[in-house]
Copies of this chain bind each other. A is one copy, B any other.
Amino acid sequence: MAGPHTLAETERQVQARLGDLTLDFEAMAVVSNLFRAANAVRNHLERTVLAPADLTWTAFVVLWVVWIWDRVETRTIAAEGGFSKATLSGVLSTLESRGLVERARSESDGRLVDVTLTTAGRKLMRGLFPQFNDEERAITRHVEDLGSAAAMLRAMTLATE
């Protein structure tokens, strides 16, 4: 949200429009930078790692969750990935048509659908994830304390729930 302009300049402009209100500019800067970072990182990873494999961001997240947990119910994937079940339904259909995942109705509960990776899906993830992690390392290389960075982000996530 806040961009090439300086922070001070942005504050000045906001103050000019809402001078009579008390605002929290530090909070504004943090939220703004959160989205700039997430956007930049996502675009970067999509271009460098995902595009060559013809995968979208969300498709990769779905594959990742299924890969880690081997056999997952769709509701779990949606919760872990942070998107709606409606979105997941479409992405799963795409991945299924490409032969990367398989849907199977649960035997113990007829409402649930279990998802697993096909052999092709597992092979793809095994090749992709190391590249992905290399980029993650590069992206965070200038972050001093990774542990406290993760904790800070978790604090924001929790504060919204």
Please state if A18 and B126 are interface contacts (CB–CB under 8 Å). yes
Decide if A113 is an interface residue (CB 8 Å cutoff): no
**Cβ of A139: which chain B residues have Cβ within 8 Å of it?**
27, 31, 156, 159-160
A143 touches B133 (CB 8 A): no
Of residues 33 through 69 on chain A, the ones whose CB sits less than 8 Å from some CB of chain B are 33-44, 61, 64-65, 67-69
Task: Given the known inter-chain contacts A31-B139, A38-B35, please indicate yes or no for A68 contacting B153, CB distance below 8 A.
Answer: no
Q: Which 6 A-B pairs have the closest CB atoms?
A: A3-B80, A38-B38, A33-B153, A26-B146, A44-B160, A39-B82
A130 close to B21 (CB less than 8 A): yes
Sample of 13 further A-B pairs with CB below 8 A, known A4-B80, A34-B153, A139-B160: A18-B129, A27-B140, A30-B140, A30-B150, A31-B139, A37-B38, A37-B157, A38-B38, A43-B160, A44-B160, A139-B159, A142-B159, A143-B156
Interface: A112 (CB within 8 A): no
Per DSSP, chain A at the interface is helix
A interface with B by C-beta (< 8 Å)? 1-5, 10, 13-14, 17-18, 21, 23-24, 26-31, 33-44, 61, 64-65, 67-69, 79-83, 125-126, 129-130, 133, 136-144, 146-147, 149-150, 152-161
